[in-house]
Amino acid sequence: MDPSNGDLYTLEANLVSKSLRELTDGADKDPITKLRLLCLSRGATGILGLGRAFRAMDDDGSKALNKEEFISGIRDIGLDVTEDEIKEMFNTFDEDGSGSVNMTEFLLKLRPPMPQCRLAIIDQAFDKMDKDDDGVITIDDLKNVYSVKEHPKYQSGEKSEDEILTDFLHNFEGGRGNLDGKITREEFINYYATISASIDNDMYFDLMMRRAYAM
């Protein structure tokens, strides 16, 4: 049950090259599509990284970003967009013209669309991992369902059980700071939504998830 197996590396490489091709194909794209492709071109954690950058700025816990925070978040993860494009993106997401964007709705729109059957299997995998039902996956949850005994770095003594489990958690955390060792359901879904974007066949996606999480 290792989500960082060879299959995922191949899928992620395909996703990156496909997104880069679409970004440079000369076709007009709306702001949301462009931002999504820019994130996908960073790999499976591109959207996660943006979500985490925004959360880090949400000082008052309101889950709302004003234009300055939005611009700062996009700049913080180094996406290649102009100031005008960022403002156009903000205005697209600020549907009611209130001057702020709801982070949860923003990430939902940014996430590659997925059929219900894929969302259901992702939810199932999360529920299996979240042993204490607190809505967050931690190292303690993993110890109950994830065995490191077959891991080559554990067998060679190079890494301890906790180090390997922490690496596993970091797969889902966006790779740019904020590594708190906890995966929320939203982060888990966003990670697999990105992987899902590189898989055309629903049955193959289902099989990959069942194999990864022994379901």
Q: What is the pTM of this model?
A: 0.65
HSE (side-chain half, CA atoms, 13 Å) at 104: 6
- In sequence order, what are the residues at sequence separation of 6 or more whose Cβ sits closer than 8 angstroms to the Cβ of residue 174? 45, 48, 49, 50, 51, 52, 53, 187
Q: Model confidence over 82-111: pLDDT tens digits? A: 888 888 888 888 878 888 888 877 877 888
Q: What angle do CA 186, 190, 194 make, to 5 degrees?
A: 170
- Predicted local confidence at residue 124, as pLDDT: 94
- Predicted local confidence at residue 191, as pLDDT: 82
- Predicted local confidence at residue 7, as pLDDT: 64
Q: Model confidence over 116-138: pLDDT tens digits? A: 999 999 999 999 989 888 999 88
- Predicted local confidence at residue 119, as pLDDT: 94
| pLDDT at residue 200 greater than cutoff 80 | no
Q: Model confidence over 28-86: pLDDT tens digits? A: 888 788 888 888 888 777 777 777 777 777 766 777 888 888 888 888 777 777 888 88
- Predicted local confidence at residue 9, as pLDDT: 67
Query: Mean of the pLDDT values across residues 157-176?
Result: 76
- Token pair for residue 149? 């005994």
